[in-house]
Amino acid sequence: MMRFKYHSLLILLILLVISCDPNSELKRELKSGGTPRSIRVSDQRSDRDIKVKLKDLFVEFELSDEEKQVVDKIKSIVTNPNIGKDEGYRTYNDLEFYNLLKTLGSFRVKKIVENYLRVDDLKDNVQEVFKQALTSGSSVALKERVDDKLNAYNSSHEVQLKGLFSYSDANFVYGAITNGNYVDQAVIKTNARLDKLKAGNVYLQLDSGEQRIIDQVRTIVTTPSKFISDSTYKLRTVQEFYGLLNTLDVDKVKEIVKSYKEYEDFKDAEYEEINKSIELVTEVESKEELGKELDNAHLFYDFHIKRVFTKFDDENNILDDLPEPNDVYEGMTQPVYRSIFDFVKYQVQDIRKYEEIEGNLSISQMVALAYMSDNSGHSEFNLKWMLGRLGFSKAREILDFHVKVITAEDQARKTLNSVKDVKKKEALQAQFDQYVEDYHKHLRLCLAYNDPDRFYDQVIEEMHMKNFKKVKADTLALLK
């Protein structure tokens, strides 16, 4: 009982002292909700203990001064709650980071440091180019934009690194950093950033939307196409592309961007409209072919762009030299894509016209169409849209004429087959085979240009029918 009273009196005395001393630190801490000194001292001692443990671990791992600095840098990233916050990446406290290092061991920590330094060297290269861009910046606004990009670049690397440390298993952390992907991705990102920076002020003066379009054009110009023969254009390097870009002033580059954006908008609108028209085509094969033509329309524009960045001599031979900058500007700002999509649009209309014509064709006319397709190297689809473009009268005229030619060929063949003496008909057989080849060659040439009017003007040729009739007559003479 006396001990309890003693303690009670002691507490009262302490409270009286606090209330009488307005500058009492304990009073301030209690009033403001702060942590009493005894607890803070414990925390500080704990922090010091971790630092001491880390120092001892560095000694145990035999880390060099550079390796220690790297580990400290990594620690500052993975223990910073603001880095990778939006991505939900894990934030370590000091003890957790120490335990991770302890689990990894000396060899694996050094391997992590080694990979970090390889990435850091790449970053240094980019930062040097950034500094050059900042030095040569022509305006305050431009310098601020470059500085913002540098900060964003550095931040992206920190976020990426913290993401790799977010695994709960130390083995996964080690694997993520040392399996090669970390360095490979850094190389890709660094090279891409260097290429953009080397574009100089022209590229840096574009906003993000404009840069996106320039990036698309660059990809077209510097990437080979599996659909377009590389013998028809000169593939450019990234450096050559940006070199040409720098020779144009920023206003012209912005006009190129504007033209390409207009192409994107036009393409989207036309694609939807043409696709609806294709749905009205009844024949499955023609519908599929038209769908392919529409899907490939953008390839023709890509081909145009590749050719714009190619220099040709007077005989249209490809040269290694870069094209004239103004030629690039002119070529990129011409809306040639309109004619590309118009061609597909007209093909749809022509096929629908042909379907109307087809309902009035005879079996022999359909046989003639199939024969022309089989022996000309061109699909029935090509023949059909051209006949649709020419209209019913000209289409029937072409098919009727070739019914006669095919009939004459067939009659000559049958007459030759009726001669049993192979030696006797040898010369006539060779002549007939040559006439057949000549006729097929004629069909190929007439269809070579995909030009309906030219096809109509050239395809009706009496000579081939006369040749077959002559073979028949000469064969009959042998039989007498």
User: Which pLDDT tens digit goes with each residue over 337-385?
Assistant: 999 999 999 999 999 999 999 999 999 999 999 999 999 988 899 999 9
Q: Does the pTM of the predicted model rise above 0.85?
A: no
* pLDDT value for 1: 44
- For residues 75 and 195, state if they share a domain: yes
In 304-400, the DSSP E strands lie at: 311-312, 318-319
Does residue 9 sit within a domain? no
Does residue 210 sit within a domain? no
Nearest CA among 213, 191, 201 for reference residue 145 = 201
Does residue 205 sit within a domain? no
Model confidence at 199, in pLDDT bands (50, 70, 90)?
low
Residue 267's domain spans which residues? 217-343
Q: Which of 200, 229, 261 is the last residue of a domain?
A: 200
In 112-201, the DSSP E strands lie at: none
Could you tell me if 283 and 355 are in contact, meaning their C-beta atoms sit under 8 angstroms apart?
yes
* pLDDT value for 4: 43
Could you tell me if 289 and 381 are in contact, meaning their C-beta atoms sit under 8 angstroms apart?
yes
Does residue 101 sit within a domain? yes
**Worst-scoring range by mean pLDDT, 127-131, 231-235, 271-275, 324-328?**
127-131
Could you count the other beta carbons within 10 Å of the beta carbon of residue 107? Answer: 10
- As a whole number of angstroms, the distance between CA 85 and CA 301 comes to 43
Q: What 3-state class would DSSP assign to 23? A: coil
Q: Which of 287, 315, 343 is the last residue of a domain?
A: 343
Domains in the chain: how many in total?
3
Mean pLDDT of 426-437: 95
> Residue 260 phi/psi, 5° resolution?
-70, -35
Helix/strand/coil percent split, the chain, to 5: 80, 0, 20
Mean pLDDT of 434-444: 96
> Residue 333 phi/psi, 5° resolution?
-100, 0
Mean pLDDT of 156-185: 88
- For residues 223 and 309, state if they share a domain: yes
State the sign of the Cα–Cα–Cα–Cα dihedral 215, 218, 224, 229.
Answer: positive
- For residues 319 and 373, state if they share a domain: no
- For residues 164 and 87, state if they share a domain: yes
- As a whole number of angstroms, the distance between CA 114 and CA 112 comes to 5
- For residues 224 and 333, state if they share a domain: yes
- For residues 267 and 385, state if they share a domain: no
- Per DSSP, the chain holds a count of helices (H) and strands (E) of 21, 2
* pLDDT value for 321: 94
* pLDDT value for 206: 84
Does residue 8 sit within a domain? no
Could you count the other beta carbons within 10 Å of the beta carbon of residue 412? Answer: 24
Nearest CA among 236, 248, 234 for reference residue 312 = 234
pLDDT digits over 267-316, tens only?
999 999 999 999 999 999 999 999 999 988 888 999 999 999 999 999 88
- As a whole number of angstroms, the distance between CA 134 and CA 247 comes to 20
Mean pLDDT of the chain: 85
- As a whole number of angstroms, the distance between CA 53 and CA 455 comes to 88
**Residue matched to tokens 């694996």:** 108
- For residues 223 and 194, state if they share a domain: no
Could you tell me if 310 and 318 are in contact, meaning their C-beta atoms sit under 8 angstroms apart?
yes
State the sign of the Cα–Cα–Cα–Cα dihedral 189, 195, 200, 201.
Answer: negative
Neighbouring C-alpha atoms within 13 Å toward the C-beta of 337? 25
Residues 6+ away with beta carbon under 8 Å from 218:
238, 241, 242
* pLDDT value for 146: 63
Nearest CA among 405, 281, 296 for reference residue 354 = 281
- For residues 110 and 194, state if they share a domain: yes
- For residues 131 and 235, state if they share a domain: no
- For residues 57 and 196, state if they share a domain: yes
C-alpha dist (Å) from residue 346 to 15, 127, 289: 97, 53, 14
- For residues 416 and 315, state if they share a domain: no
* pLDDT value for 371: 95
Does residue 18 sit within a domain? no
Q: Is the pLDDT of residue 183 over 90?
A: no
Does residue 211 sit within a domain? no
- For residues 73 and 193, state if they share a domain: yes
Residues 6+ away with beta carbon under 8 Å from 74:
112, 116, 161, 165
- As a whole number of angstroms, the distance between CA 243 and CA 237 comes to 10
- As a whole number of angstroms, the distance between CA 348 and CA 281 comes to 8
In 284-398, the DSSP E strands lie at: 311-312, 318-319
Does residue 238 sit within a domain? yes
